[in-house]
Amino acid sequence: MKQYKNIIAAYSIMILLIISVGVLQSWSIALTILNYCLISAVMTIGANIQWGYAGLINFGIMGYTALGGLAAVLVNTPPVKEAWKAGGMEMIISLILIILGVYLIHLILRKLVKSKKRNYLIALIIIIGFLVVRYISGPAIENIEAVDPAKTGFLGGLGLPIIFSWIVGGLFAAGIAFIVGKIALGLRADYLAIATLLIAEIIVSVIKHEDWLSRGVKNVIGLKRPVPYEVDLQNTSWFINLVEKFHSKKLQLISSMSEKQDILNHLVIDASSVYVKLCLAGLFLTVVIILLILTQKALYSPWGRKMRAIRDNEVAANAMGKNVVKEHLLIFILGSAIVGIAGAMMVTNDGLFTPGSYRPMRYTFVIWVMVIVGGTGNNFGAILGGFVVWFLWVEAAPIALFFINFFTSHLEETNSFKAHLIESAAYFRFLLVGIGLLIIMRYRPKGLIPEKINIKKI
């Protein structure tokens, strides 16, 4: 029990902080922060599996998040029939051709001996395949994008509930991670970081510019939520009654009938947004708990011990007959899949998909800061890191504003220096997170909640 004391203390402080935001600012903001904290926690679990368990640096988190988002779009949006008619066939043919090409190359790699001729053959197949696919898909893409470009202009999705996309997002990310892992995992640590970062950038730029698939920078809005909508809630009687009951004491104090109705309306509007966010938080929390249980089980299983052995001494683990390459690939795929799930969850939470917003700063580096700050190799630590860093990231601006006002209170309102500082309060989040990372790296390199390994004594 003693070893959990720190963890419980840290989490209680975190919950208190979020509650204090609820009291000081508003409950709606507090719940928004909580939801993002939970999503970040899923991402950090994914990153922590790779970095903490196996020592693999994956700076491509952004790419897998975007893939999860794409999954949400492809699962949830209704199919666009006209677009399918305009060019669906050609796109399917192109897809089949690409799969055939990859299969062919795979076959050549397996059957033919390594030689210059083989390389030329592969290059030839790639070039011809590229040209043929462009020839077939080019006009089709134009046709698809011409179908009502203001509203659709893409093939649409399956029209299924968005919850399914969480699994699909994971699968998407896992599939791409398999390819990326095959390419990049042989590289040394810092090369791997750069390579994954750049590959993620390629993934995002494909999602951003292939309008027929994802609408690109035109964004997809109005994805259906798995929880009720505020407007519907505000018109349902049970919800209004519930709010009335909840606030009955406050409402009794008001005598005038119309005023009472007015306040009740306000309360209902507030409560509906809180209720919706609570529902989402419940869903996210379920995912976090399931993942936490699974990852904890994995960490203390023989497999987890094997991963740690590989992380701490690759050569020795290899000598003991552990297949390092295979295990690295496996853990790379698993971690990326979890990040993909988080990406789908994030789009679910927002209800919209904006490929332009996937930037390495927010979706790779901040997540990494979370893992490092929280505690590498410790799932509780990683989740805590997600909470702490996201909280700082969001609340940095208000905190900075408070301090700026405090320290410049002797200056006049019109002072240009003060005005400039207040204007740039939002950027103090970078400063806060950066300095936080540097301090943790220096004085507590294992993170807030360090990894604990129980070694049984004989």
Partner 1 sequence: MEFINAIILLLNYTIIPALTYGSQLALGAIFVTLVYGILRFANFATGDMMSFGTMIAVLLTFYFQSLGISFGFLPTALLTIPFAIIGMIFYMLFIDKFVFSYYRIKKSPPVQLAMVSVGVMFVTQAIIRIIIGPFDRRFFDGEKFILKATEFKEMTGLNEGLTIKSTQAITILVTIVLVSIMFWFLNRTKTGTSMRAYSDNEDLALLSGIDPKRVVLITWIIAGMLATIGGVLYGLDKSYRPFVYFNNMLPIFAAAIVGGIGNPFGAFLGGYVIAFAEILITYAYKKFFTYILPDFLEPDSLVQLLSTDYKFAVSFSILVIVLLFRPSGIFKGKTL
442 binds partner 1 per the rule CB under 8 A: yes
Helix-helix angle 428-443:379-407, to 10 degrees: 130
Site string for partner 1, 220-259 (x = CB under 8 A): ----------------------------------------
Binder among 183, 289, 290, 325 for partner 1 (CB under 8 A): 183
191 binds partner 1 per the rule CB under 8 A: yes
Measured from the CB of residue 363, what is the shortest distance to partner 1 in angstroms?
14
Binder among 8, 15, 435, 453 for partner 1 (CB under 8 A): 435
433 binds partner 1 per the rule CB under 8 A: yes
Phi first, then psi, for residue 200 (nearest 5°) are -60, -40
120 binds partner 1 per the rule CB under 8 A: no
Q: Which stretch binds partner 1 (CB under 8 A): 61-69, 110-118, 194-202, 334-342?
A: 194-202
92 binds partner 1 per the rule CB under 8 A: no
184 binds partner 1 per the rule CB under 8 A: yes
DSSP per residue, 245-262: HHTHHHHHT---HHHHHH
Q: How many other C-beta atoms lie within 10 A of the C-beta of residue 227?
A: 16
Q: Tokens 């997002």 map to which residue?
A: 169
Q: Which stretch binds partner 1 (CB under 8 A): 36-44, 192-200, 230-238, 384-392?
A: 192-200
Q: Which residues contact 306 (CB under 8 A, 6 or more apart)?
A: 317, 322, 327
Helices (H), 186-256: 189-209, 211-214, 230-234, 237-246, 248-252
Output the six-digit token pair for 227: 């929880």
331 binds partner 1 per the rule CB under 8 A: no
d(CA 345, CA 68): 8
d(CA 294, CA 341): 15
d(CA 112, CA 389): 52
Sign of CA dihedral 134, 135, 137, 139: positive
Tell me how many degrees the CA angle 329-330-331 measures, rounded to the nearest 5: 95
Site string for partner 1, 13-52 (x = CB under 8 A): ----------------------------------------
Binder among 92, 194, 221, 290 for partner 1 (CB under 8 A): 194
- Residue 189, class by beta-carbon neighbours within 10 Å (0-12 exposed, 13-18 middle, 19+ buried)? exposed
53 binds partner 1 per the rule CB under 8 A: no
Output the six-digit token pair for 64: 């897998």
| Residues linked to residue 353 through DSSP beta bridges, in sequence order | 220
Residue 68 or 216 with smaller CB distance to partner 1: 216
Q: Are 444 and 384 in contact (CB under 8 A)?
A: no
Residue 143 or 296 with smaller CB distance to partner 1: 143
Residue 146 or 438 with smaller CB distance to partner 1: 438
Site string for partner 1, 142-181 (x = CB under 8 A): ----------------------------------------
Nearest to 175 by CA among 13, 417, 337, 5: 337
Binder among 197, 291, 310, 370 for partner 1 (CB under 8 A): 197
CA atoms within 13 A on the CB side of 65: 30
215 binds partner 1 per the rule CB under 8 A: no
Sign of CA dihedral 171, 201, 46, 319: positive
Q: Which stretch binds partner 1 (CB under 8 A): 204-212, 292-300, 337-345, 348-356?
A: 204-212
d(CA 91, CA 212): 10
Residue 161 or 445 with smaller CB distance to partner 1: 445
Tell me which residues in 340-399 interact with partner 1 (CB under 8 A). 360-361, 365, 368-369, 372
Tell me which residues in 413-432 interact with partner 1 (CB under 8 A). 421, 423-424, 427-431
Binding site for partner 1 (CB under 8 A): 57, 138, 183-184, 186-187, 189-191, 193-195, 197-199, 201-202, 205-206, 208-209, 360-361, 365, 368-369, 372, 421, 423-424, 427-431, 433-435, 437-438, 441-442, 445
